Each structure stands twice: as structure tokens, then as C-alpha cells.
């Protein structure tokens, strides 16, 4: 359904379906609309049969013909902005892009008109099918402002809810690459430490016993003397700042991440002058099930230029040891 246009929907209960409540029956017959959206349609008197407005608790049986009036999708009150997006995959239901470092995902207090949502509204103009009755991109997960890499966006309600469920059920595989201070003693390992809000600094997260469970696997890809290491990570949970918090807990904060423990004093004298442009964290790869075709999707993107530039400097100044 496109923005600005009301549509009528006709649904007939199949002959092989048992009698059930109208709200449950219609949600099963037309799963493109969420249950909360169906609830709102009933409350607004937009569902009827034989010129009679149906209530949610009314019963429907085989052969019943139901009419639904879908209200126009309301445009999101943001001005679309032409933004140079690096799109890795796109179809009518979803989009996967390579987010640049420095781009904020959601509009909010203190943000301008250059968020990723502004850019997506422009890129997807005319192809957004409405999520929760609003013409908007469905952000099913997010990356921090300074984190670059693979990000998944729903373009339709049919895709949004199954994708959100996959993330909630931990069915999505997410892989990252980071440059960290010093070299972990073990070439690979797991960090199983619960994460919660910092008791004093409320904008930060921290490892704490009463936090929510969080699990991160890591492996060292390349070591630069004792100064730094390139690390591959997989997160099995999706806690706020999870990788950044876990790497700080391990004693190897991400280069440039001053919020979570990085400072030049952690590096050898010869490395303190390195130009570290940002938090050196990149979402390398994502694996999920396509919500419509059920195809297993595995999409990756190479390290960005600022990563490669910093690696060149590290390789130039320190003996390189690769880990397999």
C-alpha cells in the first residue's frame, strides 16, 4: 500500500478453516498487517461484513466475506535528503546497506537532517509499503554513529515483523571487525559477561552482575607487535555497546573508543602519535533468513578506507603476526 491512498481489502474465509474470533482469523489470513494494526482497524470501525461493522470478538466461519478499509499511509514528518548510500542488496521488502562511519541512524534531539533515516526516505521514495501505518523505513537493528558496516532495513510491514523477530530470537548472525589496543593473550575466546547501565555515567554501559546476559566471541586475525591487533568478533546477543563494553572488560579497548577506556597511554611510545580517526569498529557481515522468500542471506562488506590506512601504518611500524 502506497502513501496517501485509501484501499479496500476483501477477504474470504477458506472452506477448510474452523470458526474463530474475527481478529485472530483475519490476522492469520492477512499476516502482512501486524496484530496491533488489525486491532486499530477494528477500533476505528474499518472492518465489516454484510454492512455490519465487526468487533474483534465476533466469530467468523468458512465462507464469510469480510471487507476492510485500509486508511492512507501517513508520511513520516521528515524531509527526505539525497544521501550517497552504499546499497549492497535491495528488493521490494528489504534493503541492506554499508553505513558510513559518522552517520547517525535515527533522528533525535541534537541531530540534523543528515541521519540515515532521512537518506533512506529519499532513496526509497515510492517504494515504502508502510510500517504501522506510516511511510517509513523499518529499522530492525542499529549501529552506533562511529561504527561503519552492514545494516539491514525493512521496507514493508511484511518484512519488518519477521526480521524483528529473528533479531529477538537471536537467529541473525552478526560479525564485526575491530582494531584493539594491545594484543589479547589468547588468540580466540568468548566473553560471557552481563551488561547493564553504568551506575554513575548514565550514557555508558558496563559489565555488571545484575545486567542482561551478553555473549561475544572473538579471534585475533593479525597482531602488530604488542601495540594493537585486528580482531574478528561475533555477537550472540544485541546489548547496547556490547562489543565496546566487552573489549574494555577484556583489557583491550577498541582504538579511538575514549568512552570505553581507550587512551594513547595504552600504546607504545611509537604508536601514541597514530592518527586514529574514530572508534575502529566495522560491521563486516550479516546472515539472516529473507522474511518473504525464506532464502538464507549472507551479505558482507570489506573494511573501509580508514581501517586500511591505519593497518598500513601499524604494519609499517610493527612486526606483523597473523593468526589462523
DSSP sequence for 149-168: EEEEEE-SHHHHHHHHHHHH
Give the pLDDT confidence score for residue 132 in this predicted structure.
Answer: 60
Predicted confidence (pLDDT) at residue 184 exceeds the cutoff of 80: yes
Residue 136 binned pLDDT confidence (cut-offs 50, 70, 90): low
Give the pLDDT confidence score for residue 273 in this predicted structure.
Answer: 81
Q: What percent of the chain has pLDDT above 90?
A: 55
Distance between CA atoms of 135 and 299, rounded to whole angstroms?
A: 26
- Residue 144 bears catalytic tag: yes
Give the pLDDT confidence score for residue 134 in this predicted structure.
Answer: 61
Residue 1 binned pLDDT confidence (cut-offs 50, 70, 90): very low
Question: For 160-181, how does the pLDDT look when each residue is reduced to its tens digit (9 = 90+)?
Answer: 889 988 988 899 999 999 999 9
Q: Which three cell numbers stand for residue 126?
A: 515510492
Predicted confidence (pLDDT) at residue 147 exceeds the cutoff of 50: yes
Distance between CA atoms of 101 and 304, rounded to whole angstroms?
A: 9
**Contact present, 283 and 173 (Cβ < 8 Å):** no
Predicted confidence (pLDDT) at residue 98 exceeds the cutoff of 90: yes
What's the rounded mean pLDDT across residues 27-46? 85
Tell me the average pLDDT of the chain.
89
Q: Which three cell numbers stand for residue 152?
A: 539491514
Distance between CA atoms of 269 and 266, rounded to whole angstroms?
A: 9
Give the pLDDT confidence score for residue 96 in this predicted structure.
Answer: 97
Domains, in order of start, for the chain: 7-72 (3.10.290.10), 75-168 (3.30.2350.10), 173-322 (3.30.2350.10)
Distance between CA atoms of 224 and 73, rounded to whole angstroms?
A: 54
Give the pLDDT confidence score for residue 95 in this predicted structure.
Answer: 95
Which residues make beta-bridge pairs with 321? 223
CA angle 226, 228, 231 (to 5 degrees): 125
Report in angstroms the alpha-carbon separations of 95 from 21, 127, 162, 177, 220.
35, 11, 14, 22, 31
Predicted confidence (pLDDT) at residue 4 exceeds the cutoff of 50: no
Higher model confidence: residue 135 or residue 66? 66
Of 23, 64, 144, 257, which residue is the catalytic one? 144
Give the pLDDT confidence score for residue 131 in this predicted structure.
Answer: 62
Predicted confidence (pLDDT) at residue 106 exceeds the cutoff of 90: no
Higher model confidence: residue 93 or residue 69? 93
Predicted confidence (pLDDT) at residue 39 exceeds the cutoff of 50: yes
Higher model confidence: residue 222 or residue 40? 222
Distance between CA atoms of 137 and 152, rounded to whole angstroms?
A: 10
Predicted confidence (pLDDT) at residue 5 exceeds the cutoff of 60: no
Give the pLDDT confidence score for residue 2 in this predicted structure.
Answer: 45
Strands 86-90 and 281-289, by their bridges, are unpaired
Residue 76 binned pLDDT confidence (cut-offs 50, 70, 90): low
What's the rounded mean pLDDT across residues 105-124? 82
What's the rounded mean pLDDT across residues 195-208? 87
Higher model confidence: residue 128 or residue 236? 236
Distance between CA atoms of 120 and 81, rounded to whole angstroms?
A: 8
What's the rounded mean pLDDT across residues 103-124? 83
Distance between CA atoms of 243 and 234, rounded to whole angstroms?
A: 9
Predicted confidence (pLDDT) at residue 278 exceeds the cutoff of 80: yes
Distance between CA atoms of 65 and 229, rounded to whole angstroms?
A: 64
What's the rounded mean pLDDT across residues 23-50? 86
State pTM to two decimals.
Answer: 0.78
Lowest model confidence (mean pLDDT) among 65-69, 116-120, 123-127, 306-310: 123-127
Amino acid at each position: 500500500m502506497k502513501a496517501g491512498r485509501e484501499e479496500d481489502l476483501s477477504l474470504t474465509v477458506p472452506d477448510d478453516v474452523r470458526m474463530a474470533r474475527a481478529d485472530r482469523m483475519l490476522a492469520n489470513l492477512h499476516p502482512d498487517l501486524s496484530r496491533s494494526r488489525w486491532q486499530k482497524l477494528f477500533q476505528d470501525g474499518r472492518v465489516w461484513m454484510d454492512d455490519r461493522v465487526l468487533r474483534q470478538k465476533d466469530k467468523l466461519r468458512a465462507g464469510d466475506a469480510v471487507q476492510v478499509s485500509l486508511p492512507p499511509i501517513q508520511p513520516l514528518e521528515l524531509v527526505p535528503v539525497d544521501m550517497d548510500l552504499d546499497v549492497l542488496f535491495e528488493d521490494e521488502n528489504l534493503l541492506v546497506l554499508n553505513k558510513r562511519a559518522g552517520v547517525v541512524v535515527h533522528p533525535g534531539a541534537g541531530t540534523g537532517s543528515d541521519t540515515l533515516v532521512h537518506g533512506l526516505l529519499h532513496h526509497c521514495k515510492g517504494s515504502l509499503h508502510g510500517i504501522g501505518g506510516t511511510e517509513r523505513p523499518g529499522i530492525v537493528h542499529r549501529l552506533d554513529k562511529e561504527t561503519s558496516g552492514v545494516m539491514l532495513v525493512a521496507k514493508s510491514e511484511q518484512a519488518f515483523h519477521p526480521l524483528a523477530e529473528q533479531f529477538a530470537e537471536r537467529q541473525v548472525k552478526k560479525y564485526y571487525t575491530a582494531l584493539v589496543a594491545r594484543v589479547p593473550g589468547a588468540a580466540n575466546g568468548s566473553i560471557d559477561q552481563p551488561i547493564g547501565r553504568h551506575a554513575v555515567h548514565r550514557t555508558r554501559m558496563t559489565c555488571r552482575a545484575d545486567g542482561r546476559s551478553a555473549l561475544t566471541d572473538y579471534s585475533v586475525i593479525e597482531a602488530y607487535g604488542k601495540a594493537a591487533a585486528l580482531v574478528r568478533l561475533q555477537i550472540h546477543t544485541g546489548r547496547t555497546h556490547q562489543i565496546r563494553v566487552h573489549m574494555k572488560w577484556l583489557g583491550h579497548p577498541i582504538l579511538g573508543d575514549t568512552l570505553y577506556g581507550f587512551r594513547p597511554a595504552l600504546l607504545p611510545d611509537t604508536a601514541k602519535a597514530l592518527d586514529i580517526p574514530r572508534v575502529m569498529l566495522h560491521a563486516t557481515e550479516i546472515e539472516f533468513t529473507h522474511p518473504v522468500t525464506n532464502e538464507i542471506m549472507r551479505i558482507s562488506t570489506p573494511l573501509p578506507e580508514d581501517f586500511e590506512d591505519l593497518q598500513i601504518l601499524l604494519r609499517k611500524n610493527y612486526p606483523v603476526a597473523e593468526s589462523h
